[in-house]
Amino acid sequence: MREYGVGGGGRVVVACRNAQKRKDLRAALDRQQYQVVETETASQTIQESHARSNRLLILDAAIGAGVPHELCRAIRGKSDLGIIVFAQDDNTQTRIDLLNSGADDFVPEPFAIGELMARARALLRRVTPSTDEADRIGLEDRQIDLRSHRIHGPGSRVTHLTPKEFEVLRDLVDYAGQPRTLQHLAQTIWQRDGSGELEYVRMVVGQLRRKLEPDPDHPRYIVTERAIGYRFSLDSGRTPGRRRA
């Protein structure tokens, strides 16, 4: 799995086994200032699609060993991101199955890159929340502001996050509900193999709990997954009606 770019146009997952297709799609998306994540397998695609910062999935129907609508159904069960599927099989039943399984759009191959980009822009306009909504996460008695790297609450209290605290929290939030291993967090935050930073991850998580949790000794949001790592729980104490796409 590869990630490219830091553009402000949105975060797009390109799921395709063919390296040249991925390269062409990435180049087109880069020109539109999208941040691009590449996946090559069905399991990578499912995992990355569940990351809460992703807005759109461009999916090659041939990426998995099974039928493509089953992959769409697996993704849609836990994610509301936009899904555009492209496939050589352009029969009516294929389209019906994909749309019924959660795909938003279907593009038959061969397709024009310009048309695909237009469809991507149209779909992103519908699925991308406002900046304030995307960058704020409401909990029961406080709010995480991912833009300013602050925690607001309880009451008028404002707590600042250090850069490392923010990076760990952002990764946990992006994959809310999914366990993140200590090794993964160390590799993500320190950009090395992570083998020497496991204790630093635990230390940063402890700091985050003191800033985020009502009772740091009994965490509700940053939950320990025994023998694995940590999981961010958005269901515990979530403000009613608030949803981060």
Cα 213 to Cα 229: distance, rounded to the nearest angstrom: 17
User: Could you please report the per-residue DSSP string of 120-140?
Assistant: HHHHHHHHPPPHHHHHEEEBS
pLDDT of residue 237: 44
Same domain, 16 and 99: yes
Residue 243: inside a domain: no
CATH code of the domain containing 143:
1.10.10.10
| Structure token pair of residue 29 | 């998306």
Same domain, 100 and 170: no
For 45, the domain range is 2-127
pLDDT of residue 4: 43
Q: Of 77, 94, 127, which residue sits at a domain end?
A: 127
Residues of the chain with pLDDT under 50: 3-8, 236-245
Give tens-digit pLDDT for 42-77.
888 888 887 767 888 999 888 876 677 888 888 887
Same domain, 43 and 63: yes
pLDDT of residue 244: 31
| Structure token pair of residue 123 | 């779909």
Find out whether the peptide bond into 216 is cis, omega within 30 degrees of 0.
no
pLDDT of residue 218: 92
pLDDT of residue 196: 59
How many independent structural domains does the chain possess?
2
Is the separation of the CB atoms in 108 and 90 below 8 Å? yes
* Among the listed residues 78, 55, 45, the one whose alpha carbon sits nearest the alpha carbon of residue 234: 78
pLDDT of residue 46: 87
Cα 64 to Cα 200: distance, rounded to the nearest angstrom: 37
Predicted TM-score (pTM) of this structure:
0.57
